[in-house]
Amino acid sequence: MLSSILIIYTGGTIGMKTDPATGALVPFDFRGIYDEFPAIRSLQVRIDVQSLTPVIDSSNVTPALWLHLAELIRDNYARYDGFVVLHGTDTMSYTASALSFLLENLAKPVVFTGSQIPIGVLRTDGRENLMTAIEIASARIDGRPAVPEVSLYFQNCLFRANRTTKRSSEDLSAFWSYNYPALADVGVNITYHTEYILQPERYDEPLHIAARLSGGIAVVKLFPGIEERTLRAMLSAEGLRGVVLETFGAGNAPTCEWFIRVLEEAIDRGLIVLNVTQCRGGRVMMELYETGLRLQRIGLLCGHRQTDVRPRARVAPRANARPAPHAPQRRIYRLKHCAYENKFVYFGAKNRIDRTPGKGTRPVHEEVIRYFSIYYKEYCCRNEKSGRFFESAVGSLKKPAKIGFEP
């Protein structure tokens, strides 16, 4: 039986070919993919194509597009064995990362790819990227999809989508995953590294879209000589709810009093501040140096192996951003394990509990952090099954929160 693959073309360099009459690059109609690439027939795959109307430049990507793509996959989920998303390279990592969180209970391949050279140019990298992405999306191991997660394929390497970054605007090997191994290497044969590939807990769960995205997120990159008025203005923007703070090295920042004071005031206002490193590889270790410890004490959240090259998680704080004077110093969350080897997704809601000294235990608002990835291997594991607890700065205003999950 032939595998069925849906190609979703959003736009980008891969979809351009030369007009014989004018010599200019014009959009390629992927509905004629068999005529353009007869070799695809040898893959024994049935291919359908859907193109966005109009196609978009990847620089214009918004969260609304992420939701639209997720809905396209959901609406066609039962009809196809896998999906290939053709996307412009500039923001492909952002879109692919977002889809990995939006598509809950995913048990089929969603492979993102694109090209550095238009597909209509003689030495394009688009042909190989497209054909290999189709082959990966249709591949099966022991009767199951070989890569049942959102991935990104480019220039002989398949990566977990939410671990990728575009590292070059000119090289054909434009993407890389600095903090997670490749899911597959492509040479004469495709070698799947199954130990790194996410396997769903169940294959018969209905696909669900976690469609509640939150705005008000900013990225602030530290640099030597940053001034108080500059940082204060950034953290005081109207509607700001969360900040990804890109710090130096292993999560270090200036220790001058004004810097700590500005951050502490922002956190006291209810702002969520995530500490990630500017380095392309490595991780944040806030306990390593005094500079990091001071940030931890005032309530910055540790991003661990998230780096400045990772697409940012989107967070949704409580409805009332400004905490009451008796705001809890310690919270307990129950987490639903997202089945990613190194990811958790906060579903909080009815399971979230505040423990306020002198006020007992009480539920809090259902609107909680929705998307916020953490690298759980860095936490203090007591055991590998239910009841595991991790020490973290997540959800804390002043002190580390204790985190656990149910089986």
Least Cα distance to 402 among 385, 380, 386 occurs for 380
| Distance separating alpha carbons of residues 69 and 63, to the nearest angstrom | 10
Take residue 194 and report the two structure tokens written for it.
Answer: 């199954």
Number of alpha carbons in the 13 Å side-chain half-sphere of residue 9:
25
| Distance separating alpha carbons of residues 36 and 199, to the nearest angstrom | 35
Three-class secondary structure of residue 161 per DSSP: helix
| Distance separating alpha carbons of residues 280 and 305, to the nearest angstrom | 10
**Which residue carries 């053709």 as its tokens?**
86
Instruction: Tell me which of 13, 95, 291, 307 is the catalytic residue.
Output: 13
Element spanning 64, H or E: helix 63-75
Backbone angles phi, psi at 169, to 5 degrees: -95, -5
Strands 184-186 and 175-176, by their bridges, are unpaired
Whether 13 is a known active-site residue: answer: yes
Which residues, 6+ apart, have CB-to-CB distance to 142 below 8 Å? none
Q: Which residues does the annotation mark as catalytic?
A: 13
